[in-house]
């Protein structure tokens, strides 16, 4: 069972570092059973460990996790990386309610950025990473239009990643950038790239400057 030391109400006062919210929306449907879900779990663990090793990123990056497997579950409310003591392992089951998962993720991101503004804490453009190996099994078009609009307004970075036989066209609808296909099951490589990206963002001198991200050739399928 996982244990989390969640953000207290005074966290934004006690830790005034500029924040970078990173929400993971993970497909944990039945088709991810076996090696895919094992590799996904290992990748998320590697991501958290790598972020915590970077002192600046550990204070700045806030991670949230929502899964879509049979039902939508908020596995981890936004928590500063340095306060995550452990992350639960996800199990694969059910269909893929990705539309509902993305709606919840967008709601949580809007709530968190509003909290930053209220507390007077600077923040970088939030990230929303969605990973799926199939196609949404619920009504997802409204969520995709909402996410794409926020990305177009540069209010959010939306990063869709397809695994194995994922419908890249559907995933691409959530963003202004085309979905990338994971090379095999290189979840660990992807999450290490994501942690390196978060480190670059949190180390940038300004919350509004463009950040050059690492190349994706370690994990994407060319």
pLDDT, one tens digit per residue, over 32-68 is 999 999 999 999 999 999 999 999 999 999 999 999 9
- The rounded distance, in Å, linking the Cα atoms of 185 and 174 is 22
Question: What is the per-residue pLDDT for 106?
Answer: 98
List the structure tokens of 137: 């099994």
* C-alpha radius of gyration, the chain, whole number: 16
Residue 210: predicted pLDDT: 76
79, 81, 77: which is closest to 105 by C-alpha? 77
User: What average pLDDT score do residues 104-120 get?
Assistant: 95
Question: Quick one: average pLDDT of 120-148?
Answer: 96
Whole-angstrom CA distances from 137 to 27, 40, 94, 165, 189 are 11, 20, 10, 15, 28
Query: Residue-wise over 90-108: b if at least 16 C-beta within 10 A, else e?
Result: bebeebbbbbbbbbbbbeb
**Residues sharing a CB contact under 8 Å with residue 95, sequence separation 6 or more, in sequence order:** 29, 30, 70, 137, 138
Q: What is the mean pLDDT of residues 108-122?
A: 94
Q: What is the mean pLDDT of the chain?
A: 91
CA-based torsion, 14, 118, 100, 220: positive or negative? negative
Angle at 159 between CA 158 and CA 164, to 5 degrees: 145
Q: What is the C-alpha separation between 28 and 67, in angstroms, rounded?
A: 6
pLDDT at 222 over 80: no
Reported pTM: 0.93
Q: Is 67 helix (H, G, I), strand (E, B) or coil?
A: strand
Mean pLDDT over 1-12 rounds to 49
Euclidean distance between CA atoms 88 and 110, whole angstroms: 25
Q: What per-residue confidence (pLDDT) applies to 88?
A: 81
**Cβ–Cβ under 8 Å, residues 96 and 69:** yes
Distance CA 104, CA 73 (A): 9
Residue 192 reports pLDDT greater than 50:
yes
Q: CA 97 to CA 27: how far, in whole Å? A: 9
Residue 153's pLDDT is what? 94
pLDDT of residue 2: 43
Helix residue spans in the chain (DSSP H): 11-14, 35-53, 55-60, 98-119, 141-152, 168-172, 187-203
**pLDDT more than 90, % of the chain:** 84
pLDDT value at residue 66: 97
Read off the pLDDT of each residue in 141-152 and give the average, rounded to a whole number. 97
């Amino acid at each position: 069972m996982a244990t989390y030391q969640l953000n207290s109400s005074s966290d934004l006062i006690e830790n005034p570092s500029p924040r970078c919210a990173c929400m993971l929306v993970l497909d944990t449907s039945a088709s991810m059973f076996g090696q895919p879900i094992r590799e996904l779990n290992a990748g998320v663990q590697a991501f958290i460990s790598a972020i915590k090793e970077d002192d600046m990123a550990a204070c700045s990056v806030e991670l949230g996790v929502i899964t879509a497997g049979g039902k939508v579950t908020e596995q981890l409310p936004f928590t500063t990386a340095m306060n995550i003591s452990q992350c639960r392992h996800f199990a694969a089951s059910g269909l893929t309610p990705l539309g509902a998962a993305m709606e919840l993720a967008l709601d949580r991101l809007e709530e968190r950025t509003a909290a930053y503004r209220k507390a007077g804490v600077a923040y970088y453009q939030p990230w929303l990473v969605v990973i799926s190996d199939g196609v949404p099994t619920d009504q997802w078009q409204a969520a995709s239009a909402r996410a794409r609009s926020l990305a177009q307004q540069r209010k959010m970075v939306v990063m869709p990643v397809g695994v194995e036989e994922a419908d890249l066209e559907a995933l691409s609808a959530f963003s202004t950038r085309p979905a990338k296909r994971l090379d095999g099951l290189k979840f660990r490589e992807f999450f290490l790239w994501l942690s390196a990206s978060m480190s670059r963002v949190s180390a940038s001198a300004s919350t509004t400057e463009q950040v050059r991200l690492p190349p994706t050739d370690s994990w994407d399928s060319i």
